[in-house]
Amino acid sequence: MRSKWLHSEILAIIIFCTATKCSLQRIQDENIKCELSDTFYPFLWNDHAPRDNRSSGNFSESNNSTDILKCTANCCKSRTCNVAMFYNKTCFLIECFTSAACLPTKRNLSSVDLEMVLVRTVESEHTTWEEAIKSESEEKDVQHETSNDGNPNMDFLQHFYNYDVKEKLYKTLQQMSSRENDGKIPRIYGQERYSNDDDINNSLNFEGSMKDSIDSVRFCGPGFGPCDENQECARFSMDGGVCKCTRGFYMVKKKCVLRTIVPVVAASYSESLSPKYPETSDEEPEKIQLQISVESKNIQLPENEASLTANVVPDNEKYTYLWSLVDKPENDKNGTITDQTRKTVKVSNLSEGLYKFKLTVTGQNSFGETFVNVTVLPAKRLNTPPFVIITPKHQVIKLPNYKAVLDGSTSTDDDKIDAWKWELVQGPINYSPTLQDQATIELNDLREPGNYTFKLTVTDSDKAENSTTAIIQVVEEIDYPPQSNAGSDVILYLPHNNVTLNGTLSTDDHQIVSWEWTKDASDEAKAVDMQNTHTPYLSLSHLEEGIYTFELKVTDAKGQNSTSKVHVFVKPPTNLPPNARAGNNVTISLPLTWIMLNANESTDDIKITQYQWRQISGPSNSVILSANSSLANATSLTLGDYIYEVTVIDENNNNATDRVKVTVIQEKNASPVAKIIGGNRNVTLPFSVLVINGSASFDDLAIVNFTWTRESDSLAVGNVIGNSDHEPVLQLTNIVAGTYKYKLTVADEQGLTGSEKVTIIVLEDPLIMNLVEVVLTAQATSLSQQELDQLKQKLLLLLGDDVKLNVRHVRIDEKTGHVILVFYVSRETKEGTAVMNALEVQHILKEKFWKDYSILGSAINEIRTVICQNDCSGHGTCNQETRECFCDTFWMPDIFYYWHVTEANCDWSILYVIVFIFFLFLLVTGVCWGFVNMCRSRKVKPTKATSSRPSRLKRPQKYALLHSQDDELPSFNRNTLSDTDTEDSDVLFENSRQKMNGTRNGKSRKLKLGRRIKT
């Protein structure tokens, strides 16, 4: 009955996975077609991964899969995909190298979401997943592991793949490729078990009952509807599952009824078997599940046998027992088992490791099985206490060294050492160290002499202890007494009666802490003044003629001392002159131009106090360095003979002289060498004079000519001061920014020359855009410093507070002779000193100067920037001299510039000005014409006669009679008409235009060019 229920769940799983043609994907929602292969294995493996991990095949990531359902659907679509695996919300499509390499293996990863589905086997193998699982299980004796996580298919797999290869208790699932019922329901073979009497029960024939089982299956989930009463939905995935009876109910004719037989749960170690449900009264009664318990055994070698006894509940009938071996250690070769069919079994000749046994108990209408372990522990080890070694065992330390290291890491044990403990056994009273519990310790405070004994205790893994000691002997350093040295004896000649004695030659192996000078007891009666008697230097004065003895006593830090004596001989005065020795005559060869003069061989009976060297004769004046010492250096020698004299003077001002001859010869003339000090360099304006120094040039004899030549690609601007282009130092004025290149050529007396080139790059003044110049009206010959200072104060007042006026220089305008003051303005800010822009300074000064001309008086002629910074509206260039704008083609200054209202500019386009003038002309012309017409219309007034009848006006005449113009014109205007003209006559024509004919005969007239015609 139990087997039949299991197969009903098998059918439910297969029906759900095959009838929907892809049970693991949302077909209804996403309308995905998945053509399943014949080898598709409809089961979701939770917490399983391919057997060979990354070596199972080629892994490719599917980015559009959010769960195992979509992942499986994508694998179905790919013909190269064999397995779909969903790992931590990521879908991997696996193309297996072999089907066996991708078989699911249980992974105990609680924190990882891991699922896989077997889609199709490797095409070249022509096999199914069931055959691959069976073959792998039989070859490697592997028990397929599954876990009951509440899903119905897990209960099914837990029994369906529970292979016991050695006993062949179950047969594997047969190939599912043969199809029935339209190819949707594969053929399933059930379990077969062997009884203790080796009789084989007939297996259930599910081929005939498969249709009945299918009829009892009801699907649940989205699109299927809810389960019936007393049923619950056992989901295979988020999209569907199978309805099954809740706990305590069983299925009878498609309905869940209350269970009459409560299944018995196995022991703690027994397998969690699915309960058997009773069938209808006309079916065979369900077997009772037996509760079996067997106590696992732990034994320890050399004991190698154990007995296992089974306890069965209920114990009211006779049962048949079958013990079988499930697993054993790899090193087991001689293990035996006896009484396999009895309640108590005995196993012997066991090896170290774990043995797993399975017990199957069968009754008349009952069945049960369980597993039991026998653990064989290794033989107990006979522990040996650790062997303690301290390195070094004994050591001697000499102060001032106060450090030592004790190493116990070489200690050994037959297992392992767990703990180290250091202790001080013996040492000085005041010594209390802090010792670390570790293999090696470092001692840094062994400052007291004596013996130190340290103990090391070592504890092994079996808590056995052993210890040893090490001795450190600290020896105090040997301190030798000092060695006193009062210095050499001294001879004095009166009137010299003071001297300083030096005792610094005294030594000690450590340090001398005190000095003491005393006069010998035999010299108590002799007068002398002693100072600094407790220092290394003893000062003596007011000595008298005779012999003095002084004693020096030195003491070290240990109180040890030493003494020494020195004698001072004071003799009457002597008047012997010194003996001067200037040395032997010397000959040198060019290009060497110097010689050392040595008078150290000069002697005196007392002491030589002064040396004086001077040149007596020679072809040129040489330079004597250190002329007041015994060793002097005569330089700048040329070809010829030099005579030098030395004068030595003793303490009594007695002197003596001696001479030496230095002969300078030339074996071969060498060319002079031109050398410019500084070489190529960059200099920055402003400066008034550019100096190029070639005085470092030299020759074996003498340089007689210097010539500076300006290179062709050098700037031409720059004036040579005086005749400096033929001197060692070249000086240039009026320098501008640019590159200056000069060549220095030097020549000696014999015509040989040497040359060197130099390039000097003159950089522009970094403050050039900040410089402002004020042109004064005063002439350079009349401006005083007081007036200039007053002008500076006025400028500061105009610029405001917190500013500083920095005068760069004061120069003269060469054209006008006016004085120009050039300066820049700086201001203190939080970030430091900031230089104001020249345009800003110019604007401030001009604005205030124009507001009140009397502020600066009439002393200011113009305020402007040193560099013209007018961009001329972007349509021209500024003339640095005149500050006017040279406008580009078709551009011109605006009209306000000509009225001196604005600065120079190029704001107006000539084209636009012409167009404007043209339209202005048209506008003026139009206005004038309109004005004239308006005046004409107002002057022509119609009469009554003309208003009563129409009249035609003649076209105005534009000419007049010249011969009668002057004689006939009356002296009245056109408005003085007679009554007859206004009342009785009709005016047919009137020429009202007047023209200025100019001045005639000295008079200006207005001529009437027309007349009225009356009718």
Residue 673 resides in a domain: no
Domain assignment present for residue 245? The answer is no
Beta bridge partners of 753: 747
Q: How many domains does the chain have?
A: 8
Residue 922 domain flag: no
Q: What is the pLDDT of residue 358?
A: 92
- Weakest mean pLDDT among 11-15, 176-180, 769-773: 176-180
CA distance 267 to 734: 115
- Nearest in space to 105 (alpha carbons), one of 88, 123, 90, 118: 118
456 shares a domain with 532: no
Q: Is the pLDDT of residue 812 over 70?
A: yes
Q: At which of 325, 349, 377 does a domain end?
A: 377
Secondary element (H or E) of residue 326: strand 320-327
| Average pLDDT value for residue range 97-103 | 89
Q: Average pLDDT over the chain, rounded to whole? A: 78
How many CB atoms are located within 10 Å of the residue 920 CB?
Answer: 10
Q: Does 52 map to a domain?
A: yes
Residue 150, by phi and psi: left (phi above 0), alpha (psi -120 to 50) or beta?
A: left
Question: Is the per-residue pLDDT at 515 higher than 80?
Answer: yes
Give residue-wise pLDDT tens across range 755-766.
999 999 999 888
Final residue before a domain boundary, out of 217, 248, 269 = 217
Q: Which residue has the higher pLDDT, 301 or 214?
A: 301
pLDDT at 142 (0 to 100):
37
Angle between helices 785-799 and 838-851 (to 10 degrees): 100
Q: What is the pLDDT of residues 44-66, one digit of tens each?
A: 888 888 988 888 899 998 888 88
Residues 61 and 146 placed together within one structural domain of the fold: yes
Residue 737 lies in a domain: yes
Q: Which helix (H) or strand (E) holds 132?
A: helix 129-140
Given phi > 0 = left and psi -120 to 50 = alpha, else beta, which region is 264?
beta
- Range from 370-384, 426-440, 596-610, 851-865 carrying the lowest mean pLDDT: 851-865
172-181, 236-245, 428-437, 929-938: segment of lowest average pLDDT: 172-181
- pLDDT band, very low/low/confident/very high, at 962 (cuts 50, 70, 90): low
Q: Residue 898 is inside which H or E element, if any?
A: helix 895-898
Higher pLDDT, 898 or 987: 898
What confidence score (pLDDT) does residue 833 get? Answer: 86
Residue 734 maps to which CATH number? 2.60.40.10
Q: How far is CA 993 from CA 18, 51, 855, in A?
A: 120, 125, 62
Query: CA 289, CA 487: separation in Å to the nearest integer?
Result: 118
Answer yes or no: is pLDDT of 500 > 70: yes
pLDDT of residue 956: 53
* Residue with more model confidence, 997 or 704: 704
Asked if residue 661 has pLDDT above 90, the reply is yes
DSSP string, 777-831: EEETTT--HHHHHHHHHHHHHHH-SSEEEEEEEEEE-TTT-EEEEEEEEEEEETT
Shared domain for 17 and 90, answered yes or no, is yes
Calculate mean pLDDT across residues 397-424: 92
pLDDT at 1011: 47
C-alpha 368/C-alpha 246 separation (Å) is: 23
Query: Do residues 549 and 627 share a domain?
Result: no
- pLDDT category, 422, cuts 50, 70, 90? very high
Whether residue 975 has pLDDT greater than 50? no
For residues 465 and 554, state if they share a domain: no
Average pLDDT over residues 783-787: 86
Q: Report the Cα 103 to chain-centroid distance in Å.
A: 49
Instruction: State the average pLDDT over residues 897-913.
Output: 86
Task: Report residue 205 CA to chain centroid gap.
Answer: 76
pLDDT at 978: 45
645 is a domain residue: yes
Residues 416 and 517 in one domain: no
Sequence-distant (6+) residues with CB within 8 A of 404 are 395, 397, 442, 443, 446, 472
Task: Give strand ranges (E) for 711-790.
Answer: 719-720, 729-733, 738-748, 753-763, 772-779
Residue 897: inside a domain = no
Q: Are residues 565 and 502 in the same domain?
A: yes
Burial class of 457 by CB neighbour count within 10 A (0 to 12, 13 to 18, 19+): middle
Which of the four pLDDT bands, split at 50, 70 and 90, describes residue 285? low
Return the DSSP state at 979: H
- Give the number of residues written for the chain: 1015
Do residue 200 and residue 349 come from a single domain? no
Tell me which of 666, 693, 725 is where a domain ends.
666
Strands (DSSP E) found in 801-921: 803-812, 818-829, 832-835, 860-865, 876-878, 885-887, 891-892, 908-909
Query: 651 and 553 share a domain?
Result: no
Q: What angle do CA 895, 881, 799 make, to 5 degrees?
A: 80
Residues 843 and 785 in one domain: yes
Q: Provide the pLDDT confidence category of residue 374 given band limits of 50, 70 and 90.
A: very high
Is it the case that residue 373 has pLDDT exceeding 90?
Answer: yes
Per-residue pLDDT at 693 exceeds 80:
yes
Residues 157 and 77 reside in one and the same domain: yes
Structural domain contains residue 875: no
Same-domain pairing of 42 and 93: yes
- pLDDT of amino acid 981: 46
Using pLDDT thresholds of 50, 70 and 90, give the confidence band for residue 992.
very low
**pLDDT higher at 905 or 36:** 905
Does the pLDDT value for residue 212 go beyond 70?
no
Would the pLDDT of 802 be above 90? no
- pLDDT digits over 224-241, tens only? 677 887 788 776 555 567
Report the SS3 class of residue 944: helix
Q: Give the rounded percent of residues in the chain with a pLDDT score beyond 90.
A: 34
Q: Count Cβ atoms below 10 Å from residue 791 Cβ, excluding itself.
A: 21
Give the pLDDT band of residue 853 (cuts 50, 70, 90).
Answer: low
**Whether 392 contacts 470, CB under 8 Å:** yes
- Chain centroid to Cα 967, Å, comes to 112
Q: Is the peptide bond before 495 cis (omega within 30 degrees of 0)?
A: yes
The arrangement of strands across the sheet holding 537-541 comes to: 499-502, 537-541, 529-531
| pLDDT reported for residue 648 | 95
Does pLDDT of 33 surpass 50?
A: no
Residue 557's domain comprises 490-571
Mean pLDDT calculated for residue range 905-911: 89
pTM of the model: 0.34
